[in-house]
Structure 1
Amino acid sequence: MYKIRGCVQRLRTVTNFFLASLSFSDILMTVVCIPFTVMSSNGLCMEMWESHQSRYIYSLFIMLLQYFVPLFILMCTYTHIGYMIWIKQPPGEADSTRDMRIASSKRKTSIYYIIQADEVKAD
């Protein structure tokens, strides 16, 4: 239990939060915006089809290409990035003193940015 908690604490860096936020926003944008874009573009263009089945197949194909394929690619890409950042061991020999020094430096940098943000808000 301690090993997992220590690993999670070590991964809470500004960069990791930024990457997680970016991936979440990309997937959310894909899930929310693309279906409405497809629906609105279909509403602007009157298409004349010989049969309802042809129109349905075409719409399904377009939905697959414009929505599900990019969503699947984004999910695979960000899953791989998350695996590389949070699960996979970084290259090189493990050195606990070096890792503690780097984590301390990252905490100091995070605190510095928080203080700077507070000063900007105060102005």
Structure 2
Amino acid sequence: MSTIESDLRYASTHEWARLETDGTVTVGITDHAQEALGDVVFIELPALDSTLSAGQPVGVVESVKAASDIHAPISGTVIAVNEGLTEAPEGVNTHPYQSWFYRLQPSNVEELQQLLDAEGYQAVC
């Protein structure tokens, strides 16, 4: 069974979002998503400084089974990407909540409240 961390917010498209103390938001894919994908072999991340809209496809995760779009859970500007995932994408399979994809400066932090909490995400899964 997938792990769902209680301190994160979740999109129904299986991305997680964590509000950091500096007001930025870190984004990755959930344990459920990586289990469904299987062995991750490639990750395409959004470009630095790109402006994202909530729900917009912003990258791709490819596995031995399938390819899946990564969506922006909230709107904002990309301020960092996890370059380590381009060299070692399999980290998502072993540590999905530490293997973040990108960080953004949210345009409206209140959008986080529109995402699912852990209980709501569990119901989606």
Relative contact order (C-alpha < 8 Å, sep 6+): which is higher?
1
Larger radius of gyration: 1
Q: Which has the higher strand share?
A: 2
Q: Which has the higher helix share?
A: 1
